[in-house]
Chains A and B, each alone.
Chain A
Amino acid sequence: MYNFDVETPGTVADAVAAMGRDEAQALGGGQTLIPTLKQRLASPSVLVSLSRVAEMKGVCTGDDGRLCVGGATTHATVAREATQYPALAAMASHIGDPAVRNRGTIGGSLANNDPSACYPAAVLGSGATIVTNTREIAADDYFQGMFSTALEEGELITEVRFPIPEVANYQKFVQPASRFALVGVFVAKFADGVRVAVTGASEDGVFRWSEAEAALSSEFSASAVGGLAVSGDGMISDLHGTGAYRAHLVGVMTKRAVEAAA
C-alpha cells in the first residue's frame, strides 16, 4: 500500500470535515477497501475511518415503523439485531464470513456498489432510503451502474431506512471462492406491490426485474414467474459463468425466493 494519513473522527460533523481534505476517502470496515489499497488500485492521501462514529452505528425502529440502520453498522450487528426485518438479518448473516461480517458495514457496501454485493439487492428490493449527511436518496435513484452511485464527492451514508415488507426473502447462489453472489435475488412483498432486485448478474449492477414484479404483484407464487426469463444480453460473463447461465439463475433464484417467502 502507498502510505496515507488516517483520521478517526467521533462524530458525523468531524467526519464530514475530514472528508474535505484533499484526496480523502471514507473507510467503512475496510473489507473491500483495504484489499484494494494493497493492490494499489486506489491511492487516497487520507482515509477517514468511520468506525468510531457512534451516531452512525446501530439498528433501531423509526417513528414511521421503518427499520433504521446506521451507515457504519456492521453486517454482524444487522444479522443479530434487525429482528423486525428477518429477511434483511438473514441476508446480512451470509455476507462473506464471520470475521468479515464483524468489520464490513452497510454504508461501505452501498458506497462501493460492487455488482455482486448482497446489500444493493436488499436495499433496492426493499425500496429503502439512503440518508446521507446532506440529503435522502431513494434506492431507485441511488444505484447508477457497476461501482457507481448517486453519492457526491465527500458525501457520507449516515443511515439506511427500510420499510418492512409483509414477507421477503433473499436467495444467493454463492460463487464458492469469493462468497459473493454469482446471482442473488431479493424479493419483497408490500401491500401495494412486489419488488424484485437482482445482484451479481448484470453489467449495470443491481437492477429491478420489472416483469417479475408485475407477475408477482398479481399473484405471489413461484408459478407466476415460471414462464418468465431474462435475456443473457448485458449479463456478466466471466470464468465463473456465462451471461446466459446467470440469466437462467435469475429465474431460478427468484422462484426460490418467492417459495421461501410465501
Chain B
Amino acid sequence: MTKIEMTVNGRAASGEVEGRTLLSSFLRDELKLTGTHVGCDTSQCGACVVHVDGEAVKACTMLAVEAAGSEVTTVEGMANADGSLSVIQQAFQDHHGLQCGFCTPGMVMSAAALLKENPKPSEAEVRDYLEGNICRCTGYHNIVKAIMAASGQEVAPVAAE
C-alpha cells in the first residue's frame, strides 16, 4: 500500500492505495465522492471523466498513484461556493440535458473542459468533443443544447439529427 495525497475539489485528500487502485475507485470508495460514475470501466463511455490538473481524463483509466500531488476536480466540485448550480449544471437542468442522469457527471466535466479551451464552440465542435461521452437516453440533442446555452449562445437553431 502507498500513501497518496492530492487536492480534490480544493480540499486536501489522502489515503492508502494499492498500485492497481484506479483514480475512480479512490474517489468513490476512499473519498466517498460517488458523483464520478463508472459506466463501462473500459474507457469508452466517459461517465467517469474528471479534471486532473485542469485536463479532462477518464478516472477509470488512470491509476490513483499517478494523480498523487495533482489538483483533481470532480462533479461535486462544480457547483458555486454558495451551493447553487454552476452555469453548465443549470443549463443541463434548464434544457433537460439528462434523463436517467448516469452519464451526466462525465458530460458536465467534459463540457467544462471544452468551454475552457473553446468558449464559443459550434454545435459540430460540441458533438465532436463529446465523442468519448456516451449517453443512452437523450440522443445527445438536449445535452448539446445545454452546452450551447452554457456558452451563452442561441440554442433555438440547433437542429435535431
Let me know if A96 and B132 touch, CB within 8 A: yes
Known: A98-B56, A103-B57, A179-B131. A38 touches B41 (CB 8 A): yes
Interface residue tally for chain B (C-beta within 8 Å): 27
Residues of A within 8 A of B68 (CB): 8
Known: A35-B43, A103-B62. A76 touches B132 (CB 8 A): no
Q: Which residue of B lies closest to A34 (CB)?
A: B61
Let me know if B61 and A103 touch, CB within 8 A: yes
Indicate which residue in B42, B63, B65, B110 contacts A99 across the interface (CB closer than 8 Å).
B110
* Separation of A6 and B114 alpha carbons in the complex (Å): 31
Let me know if B33 is at the binding interface, CB within 8 A: no
Indicate which residue in B62, B65, B110, B131 contacts A34 across the interface (CB closer than 8 Å).
B62
* Separation of A103 and B114 alpha carbons in the complex (Å): 16
Indicate which residue in B20, B55, B132 contacts A97 across the interface (CB closer than 8 Å).
B132
Let me know if A6 and B42 touch, CB within 8 A: no
Let me know if B129 and A98 touch, CB within 8 A: yes
Q: Which residue of B lies closest to A39 (CB)?
A: B42
Residue-wise, chain B 70-98 has the 8 Å CB interface mask toward A (1 for contact) of 00000000000000000000000000000
Task: State which residues 93-140 of B face A: CB under 8 Å.
Answer: 110, 113-114, 129, 131-133
Indicate which residue in B43, B62, B63, B110 contacts A98 across the interface (CB closer than 8 Å).
B110
Let me know if B15 is at the binding interface, CB within 8 A: no
Let me know if A47 and B131 touch, CB within 8 A: no
Q: Which residue of B lies closest to A76 (CB)?
A: B55
Let me know if B16 is at the binding interface, CB within 8 A: no
* Separation of A31 and B66 alpha carbons in the complex (Å): 13
Residues of A within 8 A of B66 (CB): 6, 8, 30, 49, 51
Indicate which residue in A4, A49, A100 contacts B43 across the interface (CB closer than 8 Å).
A100
Let me know if B42 and A35 touch, CB within 8 A: yes
* Separation of A38 and B110 alpha carbons in the complex (Å): 24
Residues of B within 8 A of A96 (CB): 132
Let me know if A16 is at the binding interface, CB within 8 A: no
* Separation of A97 and B133 alpha carbons in the complex (Å): 9
Let me know if A34 and B56 touch, CB within 8 A: no
Task: State which residues 85-135 of A face B: CB under 8 Å.
Answer: 96-100, 102-103
Let me know if B62 and A30 touch, CB within 8 A: yes
Residues of B within 8 A of A34 (CB): 22, 43, 61-63
Indicate which residue in A1, A3, A102 contacts B57 across the interface (CB closer than 8 Å).
A102
Let me know if A5 is at the binding interface, CB within 8 A: yes
Residue of B41, B46, B66, B110 contacting most chain A CB atoms (<10 Å): B66
Let me know if A5 and B49 touch, CB within 8 A: no
CB distance from A119 to the nearest CB of B (A): 18
Residues of B within 8 A of A4 (CB): 19-20
CB distance from B47 to the nearest CB of A (A): 11
Residue-wise, chain B 22-42 has the 8 Å CB interface mask toward A (1 for contact) of 100000000000000000011
| 25 contacting pairs across A/B (C-beta < 8 A) | A2-B20, A3-B18, A3-B20, A4-B19, A5-B19, A6-B63, A30-B63, A30-B66, A31-B61, A34-B61, A34-B62, A35-B42, A35-B43, A38-B41, A46-B19, A49-B65, A76-B55, A96-B132, A98-B114, A98-B129, A99-B56, A99-B58, A102-B57, A103-B58, A179-B131
Given contacts A30-B62, A98-B56, A103-B57, 7 further A-B contacts (CB under 8 A): A3-B19, A6-B19, A6-B63, A30-B63, A35-B43, A98-B113, A98-B114
